[in-house]
């Protein structure tokens, strides 16, 4: 079984790229840099572990339907530490 989350592209137009992400327990994104401003809308409530390049880690408590926004340039690895599938929608904002 893959340790990678499953992504499903939902919208990709001139303004946004919208992707559904499904993380089985223990899945992680791997290290990545966000090249666009983005918003995440959790579809379930739970916790994700966020690892930063400087070695810091923190736990994000996320609530279904409550979005958060981040500026481009974020570098991190995200891990599902729940014992259930974690699902969120990511909306990336393309610059025109």
What are the φ/ψ torsions at residue 68 (nearest 5 degrees)?
-135, 155
pLDDT in tens, 56-85: 999 999 999 999 999 999 999 999 999 999
Q: Quickly list DSSP for 17-83.
A: EEEEEEE-TT-B--SEE--SEEEEEESS-EEEEEE-TTS-EEEEEE-TT--EEE-TT-EEEEEE-SS
The reported pTM is 0.92
Confidence of residue 3 (pLDDT cuts 50, 70, 90): confident
Q: What mean pLDDT is predicted for residues 3-18?
A: 96
Fold (CATH) for 6-93? Jelly Rolls (2.60.120)
> At which residue do the structure tokens 């992680």 appear?
28
pLDDT digit string, tens, across residues 13-54: 999 999 999 999 999 999 999 999 999 999 999 999 999 999
Q: Which residue has the higher pLDDT, 2 or 91?
A: 91
pLDDT at 96: 58
How many Cβ atoms from other residues are within 10 Å of residue 16's Cβ? Answer: 17
């Amino acid at each position: 079984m893959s340790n990678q989350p499953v992504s499903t592209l939902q919208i990709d137009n001139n303004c946004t790229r919208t992707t559904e992400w499904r993380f089985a327990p223990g899945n992680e994104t791997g290290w990545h840099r966000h090249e666009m401003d983005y918003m995440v809308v959790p579809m379930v409530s739970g916790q994700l572990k966020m690892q930063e390049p400087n070695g810091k880690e923190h736990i994000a408590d996320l609530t279904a339907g409550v979005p958060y926004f981040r500026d481009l340039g974020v570098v991190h690895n995200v891990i599902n530490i729940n014992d259930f599938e974690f699902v969120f929608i990511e909306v990336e904002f393309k610059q025109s």
